[in-house]
Amino acid sequence: MVIAIDGPAASGKGTLAKRLAEHYRLPHLDTGLLYRAVALTLLDADRDLADADAAAAAARGLDAAFLSDPRLRGSAMGEAASIVSAQGAVRAALLDWQRRFAGAAEGAVLDGRDIGTVVCPDAAVKLFVTASAEERARRRHRELDGRGEAVAYEAVLSDILRRDARDADRAAAPLRVAEDAVVIDTTALDADAAFRAATGVVDGRDRA
């Protein structure tokens, strides 16, 4: 069983994906880390994030071990990843990587921006997890504050809105709701409530 989870930044999809993977004993891939890793590879090499050739080369040569680098979790990497992920050559280079992961015999849980629409269009379950921009900014601000990163809430909200626009407007695999996806709005839901809603969808599909 493949569970595809899409949604904008800080919607809670990553937390939900991890819990679903543990619950159903499936491997999990946060595909956003792939783009963060490509961006970090470019930055480490002092290359421009907009350098399409360098970005595509970094994507083709990506080492899975690099996904555990703690630097990928920083707020700056989220913005950097949004820039490289808008490049069609990067997305094409990472597409097979993601599909191989999803092709595991037991299935998998993948979360990102285009899992249900591009990477795994035939996924057994498709979820689109969202929340208001203000609530997502509050969550991200709390997360950054917990890491000791002093960032103003207004700056976080501005970053969220900028990334939303870039993800939705890009030519390559824009963020959108798959026609057969179930939308879970987590604006007023805590992690447990979102998990219950998601397992209800998954278990319901199993019984259908």
pTM value is 0.90
CB 4 within 8 A of CB 183: no
Q: Known binder of ligand: residue 9? A: yes
Examine residue 167 and state whether it is found in any structural domain, yes or no.
Answer: yes
Tell me whether residue 207 is in a domain: no
- 75 is an annotated ligand-binding site residue: no
Residue percentage of the chain with pLDDT more than 90 = 79
10 assigned ligand-binding residue: yes
CB atoms within 10 A of CB 207: 5
Q: Write down the pLDDT at residue 206.
A: 59
Binding residue per annotation — 126? no
Cα 104 from Cα 124, distance rounded (Å): 14
Tell me: pLDDT of 208 over 90: no
- Determine, yes or no, domain membership for 88: yes
7 is known to lie in a ligand binding site: yes
Q: Is 206 contained in some domain?
A: no
Q: What is the DSSP letter of 118?
A: I
In a domain, 28, yes or no: yes
**CB 59: neighbour CB atoms within 10 A?**
25
What pLDDT shows up at residue 37? 96
**Total structural domains within the chain:** 1
Report pLDDT digits (tens) over 170-192: 888 889 999 999 999 999 999 99
pLDDT digits (tens, 9 = 90+) for 72-105: 987 788 889 989 988 999 999 999 899 999 999 9
**81 annotated binding-site participant:** no
Domain assignment of residue 208, yes or no:
no
Domain of residue 77, residue span: 2-199
- Domain of 103, CATH number, reads 3.40.50.300
Give a yes or no: residue 61 inside a domain. yes
Residue 71: the pLDDT is 92
| Per-residue pLDDT, 110 | 98
27 is in an annotated binding site: no
Q: What's the whole-number average pLDDT of the chain?
A: 93
Report d(CA 207, CA 201) in Å as an integer. Answer: 10
Q: What is the mean pLDDT of residues 109-135?
A: 97
Confirm or deny that 15 is annotated as ligand binding: yes
| Helices 32-44/52-60 angle, 10° precision | 120
Q: How far is CA 164 from the centre of its chain?
A: 12
Torsion of CA 132, 183, 120, 19, to 10 degrees: 80
Structure tokens that stand for 119 in this block: 């990477």
- Give the single-character DSSP code of 66: G
Count Cβ neighbours within 10 Å for each residue of 102-132 and write b for 16 or more, e otherwise: beeeebbbbbbbbbbbbbbeebebbbbbbbe
Asked if residue 204 belongs to a domain, the reply is no
Q: What's the rounded mean pLDDT across residues 55-62? A: 95
Taking residues 53-61, what's their average pLDDT?
95
Contacts of range 115-121, beta carbons closer than 8 Å, 24 or more positions apart: 115/4, 115/5, 115/6, 115/31, 116/4, 116/5, 116/6, 116/178, 116/180, 116/181, 117/6, 117/173, 117/176, 117/178, 118/91, 118/173, 119/4, 119/31, 119/95, 120/2, 120/4, 121/178
Known binder of ligand: residue 133? no
**How high is the pLDDT of residue 207?**
55
